[in-house]
Amino acid sequence: MPTIFSHPAVPLALGFGLGKKIVSRRLLLAGIAASILPDLDVVAFSFGIPYEHEFGHRGFSHSFFFAALVALLGACGHRWLHCGFGIAFWFLFFSTASHGILDAFTNGGLGIAFFWPWSDARYFARYQLIEVAPISLSHFLSWWGVSVLLSELRWVWLPCVLMGLGLACVFRNSRK
């Protein structure tokens, strides 16, 4: 999995690219939280739920179904988020779904249960370019952690910066 520092790259890029008129500050913060939310499934380990179980790590909480539930719940608060229902739904959906998509590009783990509850099969992207992050803090504060951060800069942050800039160019030119 990418680190907790890199999952917010997608909502940050979308928020920057779409602009403050579309993505309010509150919606952006909700998107950042939604992009991190799927990794709360690591709590399952403390309940004895194994990694490969559908409720284990990278199981149901990394699915498109879960992303839709998070988006639906968040969109119900669209007025508080200072945006329309549809904008809230899609922004939160992409923010949440991006978590599993980024995880699918890592070189570790058992894959992502994208299609849960219809299937508990797990998938990886064709190319696993992102160095998988260690779960323990001691491993993170080692050369492994440094290589993970460098990998994320290259394969997560750089593409997200380019996406944000591209979207900003398109949306700013379309408003003229």
Q: What is the reported pLDDT for 171?
A: 84
The pLDDT tens digits for 63-100 are 999 999 999 999 999 999 999 999 999 999 999 999 99
Bridge partner residues of 106 (DSSP): 130
Q: Which residues pair with 130 in a beta bridge?
A: 106
What are the pLDDT digits (tens) for 21-48?
999 999 999 999 999 999 999 899 889 9
Q: Tokens at residue 130, please? A: 């992102």
CA distance 137 to 58: 19
Q: CB-based contacts of 136: which residues, under 8 Å, 6+ apart?
A: none
Q: How many residues does the chain have?
A: 176
Tell me the one-letter amino acid at 143: W
Confidence of residue 134 (pLDDT cuts 50, 70, 90): confident
Residue 95 identity: S
Paired tokens of 72? 């639906």
Per-residue model confidence (pLDDT) at position 142: 75
